[in-house]
Structure 1
């Protein structure tokens, strides 16, 4: 059978295995990361980008296939290590991105829009309308910052510090990821603070009116007042909200860079 295989295709199987291994880490990161992991991004596009990012990293870090092959205990451990590194890097960026969703849900509840929801394009799940709006804003800010290019650079740098088949990622980067995940709600509340605090004051005014005029229909007056105040406050605080989202995205990228450093 070997005599029937042309000489030019003799190393094709090994080359295909190398391509497959090179795609694992970026592919896992893109599944968890924002923008790349959106359901609207075709799977074929993710595979092509993962191969384009993984091949230079594979060449920079140096790698040889296990002697027993990829389908072996050594190969399975290598694949699990690659998936863990990729998911940790992508999830760190996703945590920074999700602060916008938390802020949107907080502002929606304060405005009385908690009952309204729409499909978020980044998660394909139902979220409050303002959460979807801030998610789209976060996507545009992520792309304007060059976050997609920074993520690719972080993945390439990770091949030097965490080579394929080398020691598994230590416990300290995972501990940093867990601590950063605990800051998600704090970051979301900080983004929503300018609008949310003012809306709480509006609610207090409505409560005092209800006490002074018991016949006043709060559902007919309070909801439009909170909604109008929220729209005006969102327009006024838009630059501050954008700055908060940018800081959260930068913190996510910084955490991913620390994880890539091993």
Structure 2
């Protein structure tokens, strides 16, 4: 117990213990873990969802706080919550990979700004993709699915038996490869067209070496890239939905095996 001798003390310790997994998931997950979301909001959401967990599952926290077993249980709860959010974060990294490929071919590799999701500098095109993926994630109720999986995770991984096994850790590592595959497929329509344009420009440079390719190639790549993005974005939006579903499915497999 906390050591205050109050009647509310066991319930308060149980709520704090439950909030560890929920808070770790929110800190690592996209949307909830964005820099623009205040810490107060995240703590309040974790407490509200903690009440739901306590109402749906009989959670029995460790009896003593300052013991090795309790510290290991807290570490296990934080590990499970961080893993749930991290798997979704892996899927959300796919648009950044696609933006690096497309932006480099279009000549927009130098255009970068502060990403509101993580507070770091990222390509401008990557921010556009990231915002679209976030909106699609919210449109299919991905945030509600994440909360539902966090609550149901106490059935599959109850308190005291929440360590991730080697198979689950291996699944997280394998899903990391999906980021590069999804980013490649997302950038494929526009990237292939820009690659074809670069081949044509290279052939022209061999046929007419006197031409200034910097004055011709860069505006052409930029114009063709913007036009290709406008044409291919409906298909790219459909594939972003696939990325969202695959990320949620990977999170569910992490919880239920």
Instruction: Specify the TM-score bucket, using the shorter chain as the normaliser.
Output: over 0.9
Equivalent of 2:124 in 129, 139, 146:
129
Equivalent of 1:106 in 76, 101, 109:
101
> What residue in structure 1 maps to residue 41 of structure 2?
45
> What residue in structure 2 maps to residue 16 of structure 1?
12
Distance 1:108 1:181 in 2: 22
Distance 2:54 2:246 in 1: 27
Distance 1:34 1:50 in 2: 15
Give yes or no for contact 1:60–1:160 (8 Å, CA) kept in 2: no
> What residue in structure 2 maps to residue 74 of structure 1?
69
Is structure 2 residue 228 aligned with structure 1 residue 233?
yes
Distance 1:11 1:188 in 2: 54
Q: Measure how far apart 1:71 and its partner are.
A: 2.3
> What residue in structure 1 maps to residue 30 of structure 2?
34
SS in 2 for 1:190: helix
Distance 1:258 1:51 in 2: 25
> What residue in structure 1 maps to residue 114 of structure 2?
119
SS in 1 for 2:71: helix
> What residue in structure 2 maps to residue 56 of structure 1?
52
Aligned residue runs from structure 1 range 137-148, under 5 A: 137-148=132-143
CA-atom RMSD, angstroms? Answer: 1.4
SS in 2 for 1:204: helix
Question: What are the ranges of 5 or more consecutive residues in structure 2 without an aligned counterpart?
Answer: none
SS in 2 for 1:183: helix
SS in 1 for 2:93: helix
Q: Measure how far apart 1:167 and its partner are.
A: 4.8
Q: TM-score scaled to structure 1, two decimals?
A: 0.93
Q: Give every structure 1 segment of 4 or more consecutive aligned residues whose post-TM-superposition deviation is greater than 3 Å.
A: none
Give yes or no for contact 1:58–1:159 (8 Å, CA) kept in 2: no
Q: Structure 1's 76 and 232: CA in aligned 2 closer, same or farther, altered over 3 A?
A: same
Question: What are the ranges of 5 or more consecutive residues in structure 1 without an aligned counterpart?
Answer: none
| Number of equivalent positions | 254
